[in-house]
Structure 1
Amino acid sequence: MTYARNKSIGNYGERLAADHLRSLGMVVLAQQWTCRFGEIDIVARDGSTLVICEVKTRTSTRYGGPFEAVTGHKAARLRRLASAWLEAHDVHPPAVRIDVVSVVVPPAGAPRVERIAGVA
């Protein structure tokens, strides 16, 4: 698979994930926010909780599902990114949560979107 195709599928998955979060009543504050530590796919607000959301998009689960791609190392990086976002925006929410949204885009049929809240 080419880089451009992977990027296109990833962007599509992030759009689906943002729509899914909105359907759950969340407010999307930012998408693809970058800093020196990396990128946050989606920053949202769920009530008074700030949600840092990692989106994993796959076209198949042949090599494992999207949730399996979020390792302990990745979770630690997401915590650093959350701190950087809070500092950059000078906000102090009562709670911060890290969620993962899995998007599987099969060759035929509708994409499947699932979320696990509070992974790290």
Structure 2
Amino acid sequence: MAHKDDLGRAGEQRARHYLLECGYRILDHNWRCSLGEIDIVAQRGTALAFIEVKTRSSLDFGHPFEAITEPKKQRLWRLAHEWVKQHPDAARGRSLRVHAIGITGRDPWAGTLEHLEDVR
């Protein structure tokens, strides 16, 4: 279990680094409330992105994006709205987006990173 947790933390760290390189500003990460957790909240331009990061050591159990099911998407949107309620100044005048970042590889820093914008 510890290996899986380490892999996930490393994947989230790489995702934050990638987002910064792409011009995003990280506003929050691993934000929790009673509804669950948002991996990353980032802003670019007038958009706020609520980003789910899925890291897998291989594709043996499917692509990382396959874990983002319809119920997961709905929960991410509920979490996004809860974050906005708790951070109204940061969200004022911004559009909301849900993104996913999938990282595949035994070493998240060397693995394949894919960024799916506007998960619907």
Q: Structure 1 length normalisation: TM-score?
A: 0.92
1:37 is matched with: 35
Aligned AA (2:79): L
Deviations 1:31-57 (A, max 9, x none): 100001000000000111000000000
Q: Which runs of 4+ in 1 moved over 6 A?
A: none
Q: Which runs of 5+ in 2 are unaligned?
A: none
Q: Aligned residues: percent identity?
A: 37
2:93 is matched with: 93
In structure 2, how many angstroms separate the alpha carbons of the residues matched to 1:48 and 1:75? Answer: 22
Q: Which runs of 5+ in 1 are unaligned?
A: none
Of stretches 88-97 and 57-66 in structure 1, the one that deviates more from structure 2 is 88-97
1:22 is matched with: 20
In structure 2, how many angstroms separate the alpha carbons of the residues matched to 1:110 and 1:94? Answer: 33
Aligned AA (1:10): G
In structure 2, how many angstroms separate the alpha carbons of the residues matched to 1:45 and 1:94? Answer: 9
Deviations 1:61-86 (A, max 9, x none): 01111011100000000000000000
1:119 is matched with: 119
Shift of 1:94: 2.8
